[in-house]
Structure formats: structure tokens, C-alpha cells
Amino acid sequence: MSLKEHIQVTAVDLFSRNGIKRVSMDDVARKANVSKRTLYDFFKDKEALLIGVLNKMREPLSEYFESLEKGSYTALEMILLFNEKLMEKPIWLCEDFLEDIKRFPLAFRLMIDGKRQFLDKIIELLKRGEKESVFMSDINYDIISLLAHRQFSKCNSLDISEVLAKYTPEEVHNTVFYIFLRGICTDAGRDIVDKFVTKKIYRGYNIR
């Protein structure tokens, strides 16, 4: 891992736990064990660091999704496996991060563009899953994907997050995620979800 990548990984950890506002460039430099001058050699300001962090997070996700596309997975299995990958570094579940990033227009735009691309991929998978008989037919999946996105966003709203404060963001996300997914599955699809969840409990992630 290069020094620049080390700094980015450190920033991901800090931002995901504390949001952006409460993390200074000094905090990042201190945690990464580099001088502030070295940090600024790589990133001219916090927004540049945020952009670097978002791009760094996107790379392994894109590579992982491409590897799934090359496999023999159903659309449902791809969604389940990709969700597991997302949850390895769930920075996007941090309410403070999502609120704070709005103060950085370039980074915020990059995040929104990434979400839009992600939503397009999900729509493709939902429609493909319908043809594979793992998702129910006669459903407008464009509407379903938009409603799902809005539902997950509501989990991060102030009113809801206070009620759910005793649970981890990951637990809240996965509860909503699995209930939603099972709700649009056929019997064959629900069998796949149940099998995946059972193996997940016992730390077995190979769903084949």
C-alpha cells in the first residue's frame, strides 16, 4: 500500500466513525502518522481528500461487481454478495458523513453521481432477476428501486435515527434490506435469500 493509499484508508476510518466536520486534516495526519505537510502534498484541502476517499472506495466495489458479472450468479445472488461487500466499509451509513459532505460541492456531486450509477445497476439486476424467476413479475422495478432508495435514506433521517440509536447502522440497514428483498422475491428467490442468511450466520459466505 502506498503512502497516499494509507492516508485515504485512514481518512475512511475517521470519516465513517465521526463524520467529516469533526475530523480535521490534523486528525488525519496524526492518525496516519504523517506530517501535515506530507498530507497536503497529496491533498490540497479536505475536499480533495474527500474526493480521493470516494474514488478509493469506488475502485474495489467496481472491481468486485465486475467479478460477479463474470460469474454464474443470479441477479439476486449478485445483490446479496454486493451488499456484503458494501458493508465492509459502510461509510455511507454514517448520518454525520452524509450531512457533512453537502458542504463540499465537488465531493457531494461525485457521491451523487456514484449513487445514480449504483441505482442504474440495481434496476438492471432487478429486471434481470425477474427474467430469472427469482423476483416477482408484473412489478414496476423502476418504482421499486426508487422507493428502496428513499426507504434506506429515511433510516438516516434525524427522527428515525434517534429512535434506532440503540442499534448499529449496519443492523438497521440489513434488517430493512433483507425484509425488502424477500418481499419482491418469488419462492425460489426467498429460498436463495434464506440460504444466504443461514450461511452468513455461520460465517459461510459461499452461497454455492
Mean pLDDT, consecutive 10-residue segments, the chain of 208 residues?
92 87 95 96 96 88 91 93 82 73 93 85 90 90 71 51 66 83 93 86 50
Indicate if the alpha-carbon torsion angle 29, 34, 37, 41 is positive or negative: negative
What pLDDT is stored for residue 165 in this prediction?
64
Cell triple for residue 87?
458493508
Q: Given this model, what pLDDT does residue 16 score?
A: 81
By CB atoms closer than 10 A (0-12, 13-18, 19+), residue 45 is: exposed
Tens of pLDDT, residue by residue over 170-201, are: 777 788 888 888 989 999 999 999 988 887 65
Q: What is the pLDDT of residue 150?
A: 63
Q: Phi first, then psi: what are they for 185, rounded to 5°? A: -85, 150
